[in-house]
Amino acid sequence: MGGVCCCLSEPIDFDAEVTLYHFDLHRAVGKGAFGKVRVVEHKRSKKLYALKYIDKAKCIRQKAIANVIQERRLLEEIDHPFIVNLRYAFQDDENCFFVLDLMLGGDLRFHLERRGYIKEEVVRFWIAELACALEYLHRQRIIHRDLKPDNILLDAAGHAHITDFNVAIHYSERRMHTSVAGSMAYMAPQVVGRKGYSWAIDWWSLGITAYELIFHKRPFDGRSAEKMTQAILKEPLRFPEDANTRCSEAGISALKGFITRDPETRLGCRPNGQGIKDIRQHPWFETIDWDTIETKECQPPFVPDMKQANFDVAHELDEFLMVEKPLTHTKRKVNPDLDKMKPELRQLEEQFTVYDFSSSKRVSYYPHNQPVIAHGTSTDDSERTMAQSTNGTLIPTATIAERSQAGSPMLDSDSNRYYVPPPLPSSQGPVP
């Protein structure tokens, strides 16, 4: 009986494939486009995790099947101290489940809105941690494409972690991406201008995020998508009049380095520079002990107050008031007939595979992991409209995505030349 635990209903075989029955469900702590996030406890190990669950029907309606499968695959490749890592993945008849590292310290949007702005030394510490995570992702040939305060979570100790890989993709050494994806206020000029882009866009988004955390405003804004696009493409980078009271000269210099329109001169991206070494050697980071940063041994300058909820408690009320159907443990249909399923449900059944970090080896889908195409959709580029608020202003935190044009060349249309991103240092040697 070693792997079997007696429960209220029937024994659970923990040595069998992981299911929702392996977990006790606790409080809801977040809400996304297709489902919620709640705290769960593994019944055998007693470890707490975050359960992100995605409603299949809603996902099909919003034509997001490909994104969910892509996210599931990418997360299987990733394991890093400053990323919210995947621990389990599985599905039942109604939902797809991601079981992830639990971050109870709240997201940076929550803390920014509650505090008004974040002190420079705190932001510098987070940016150093996030820079380690981005360097790791780019070595794995992954572009996040949606870095913003909402997608950075703190653990209870105050360390920063990148989450939400819903629009993340592998990049190619040979071709640039042209699809518009991410949250507009944080998109690099190469994205909104459809000029072709690669991993360098994440460093721009990191710079915009740092600017917003320090000054509680973004450098480029607009009341419409068109105005925001023009601001990102053409407006000079400006700082508030009282910028020097919030940020040092070295900090301003680092922000200017990240928020540089030309990817060849952007901090961390210069072709003849040394990537992350350029960042480490920048005067703004001279007080950072990179060795202890990478091992998570250094004390974060900001520690979340764990005596109170670091999230919007309205998420819990939704289920309490029965606004939405509560999540429950349900048994799957036995041996479903794949041939009789809707194409989208069959695709999920076949491609959203089970993952268990305690027994599965992390694998890389690169270079075979081409963008997942949803069954039954056309091959034309389709763009999800950016969410707008009732007063017509853009909601900067809404994520949009469209599929990349197949075979888009690495062409810099400003100068009619091909732009080759600088090589990333790699200890693993070249990947074929």
**Residues making up the binding site:** 52
Going by the annotation, the residues of the binding site for ATP are 52
The SS3 of residue 109 is: helix
Those residues whose C-beta lies under 8 Å from the C-beta of residue 114, and which sit 6 or more positions away, are none
User: In sequence order, what DSSP letters do the residues of 131-158 get, joined into one string?
Assistant: HHHHHHHHHTTEE----SGGGEEE-TT-
* Under 8 Å between Cβ of 158 and 105: yes
Which residues share a beta bridge with 40? 25, 49
d(CA 64, CA 166): 9
Active site residues: 146
Region of 376 please: left (phi>0), alpha (psi -120 to 50) or beta.
left
Instruction: Write phi, then psi, for 5 (nearest 5 degrees).
Output: -120, 135
Using the CB atoms, write b or e for 150-168: b if 16+ within 10 Å: bbbbbbeebbbbbbbbbbb
The span from the CA of 191 to the CA of 402, in Å, is 11
Residue 399 tokens read as 């994520």
Q: Is the peptide bond before 367 cis (omega within 30 degrees of 0)?
A: yes
Angle at 86 between CA 118 and CA 109, to 5 degrees: 20
Type of residue at 244: N
Q: Extract the tokens encoding 190.
A: 């190469």
Write the DSSP assignment of 164-208 as a string of letters.
--TT-EE--SS--B---EE-GGG--HHHHTTS-B-TTHHHHHHHH
CB 409 within 8 A of CB 416: no
